[in-house]
Amino acid sequence: MTGDPEEGMLSWDESVFRNEHVFEIDYVPETFRHRDSQMQSLTYALRPAVRGSRPLNVMVRGPPGTGKTTAIQKLYDEIGAQTRDVQTIRVNCQVNSTRYSVFSRLFEGCFDYEPPSSGISFKKLFGQIAEKLVEDDRVLVVALDDVNYLFYENEASDTLYSLLRAHEEHPGAKIGVIVVSSDPALEVIDALDTRVQSVFRPEDVYFPVYDQPEIVDILHERVTRGFHDGVVATDVLERVGSLTAKSGDLRVGIDLLRRAGLNAEMRASRTVELEDVEKAYETSKYINLSRSLNSLSENERALLEVLVDHDGAQAGEVYERFSEETDLGYTRYSEIVNKLDQLGLIDAEYAEIDGRGRSRSLTLSYEPEAIRERLE
């Protein structure tokens, strides 16, 4: 006699998840696998801060989804457990992409409240932060996460210069800087002003892409902590690992597991099947696109909207359409084109045009419909 077909069905108040937060972007895993050498290098650089001295500066490089932010957060947690004499602040430069907004975030971290939204100069803002550090005899460790966004806005050199020279204007201020770049085409040191290069000699810590066995190992722990027993079978996890390795971004796999679990629940199933994974991948594979689009300004999004309908067109033709929408001049338009190119959202290549010399053609890096759908 066959079993009850409803035995494999969830009741209305049940879930396949043991702890869904395990699959959130801000979750910090208890066990941080396959990054021992990177953690040792970061610990070496920051150890002087725990002893009350200025730490070594660090440059953390690697593609998206390779554990850079998690490594810094784990180390910050360890420092916080050891001493109250070190102030650790991580700034998301994708959100805070100007010098003033970076220092506003530092002010908030030091004083536990936001600075006035207007009426305070950068010099005064900077001075209050430095004076607070000296008064409390605390070392400040600043992580500029996704520092590449500061470069896209031409704010990186001024921001770093202010941080690295703080002790000259404010004797006793001890600040260490961790710059974190996810843009493999960006040569951080070469892109800085010479005045910054002369004082910025960071330790270099590289985070390579995880290979497939490492991905499966990491995702297996998420499955164990995030799902109930028996929800994700070995073959399903292997498929998730394969798709994640294809993208090169561990965050795709984490998002994929969560969405596959939600798909299983939609079917009232107690187990995640391959069909749930394949369906979820159609969304999860665009996770980097969605995050990049969320960081864009209104004018930057407007240019992408124009390109959705004019993919592959020459820069001059695209500008005509773009200027009708925004009334921006060509100089600002060119800056936006360069930023979208640096973000990997478009490919802006120069080519010879008969009778017109060299011109750039602008091509979307993703399917136009995928971009259109996420811009709406």
Q: Do residues 159 and 52 both lie within one domain?
A: yes
Average pLDDT of span 59-80: 96
Q: Do residues 113 and 235 both lie within one domain?
A: no
Is there a domain that residue 5 lies in? no
Total domains present in the chain: 3
Q: Check whether 248 is labelled as a binding-site residue.
A: no
Q: Do residues 255 and 170 both lie within one domain?
A: no
Q: Check whether 67 is labelled as a binding-site residue.
A: yes
Q: Do residues 348 and 245 both lie within one domain?
A: no
pLDDT at 1 over 50: no
**Residue 10: predicted pLDDT:** 83
Provide the domain limits for residue 192.
36-206
pLDDT at 355 over 60: no
**Residue 26: predicted pLDDT:** 86
What crossing angle do the helices spanning 99-111 and 156-164 adopt, rounded to 10°?
Answer: 40
Q: Do residues 299 and 274 both lie within one domain?
A: no
* Strand ranges for 69-208 from DSSP E: 86-92, 139-145, 174-181, 203-206
Q: Do residues 182 and 80 both lie within one domain?
A: yes
What crossing angle do the helices spanning 250-266 and 274-284 adopt, rounded to 10°?
Answer: 130
Q: Check whether 70 is labelled as a binding-site residue.
A: yes
Q: Do residues 72 and 187 both lie within one domain?
A: yes
Q: Are 319 and 309 in contact (CB under 8 A)?
A: no
Residue 189: which CATH number?
3.40.50.300
Report strand pairing: 58-61 vs 86-92: unpaired
Q: Check whether 68 is labelled as a binding-site residue.
A: yes
Q: Check whether 98 is labelled as a binding-site residue.
A: no
Is there a domain that residue 24 lies in? no
pLDDT in tens, 168-192: 999 999 999 999 999 988 999 999 9
Residue 306: which CATH number?
1.10.10.10
**Residue 117: predicted pLDDT:** 79
Q: What is the pTM of this model?
A: 0.89
Phi, psi of 113 (to 5 degrees): -155, 155
238-241 contact pairs (CB < 8 A, 24+): 239/274, 239/277, 240/277, 241/212, 241/215, 241/216
pLDDT in tens, 247-263: 999 999 999 999 999 99
**Residue 119: predicted pLDDT:** 80
Q: Do residues 65 and 184 both lie within one domain?
A: yes
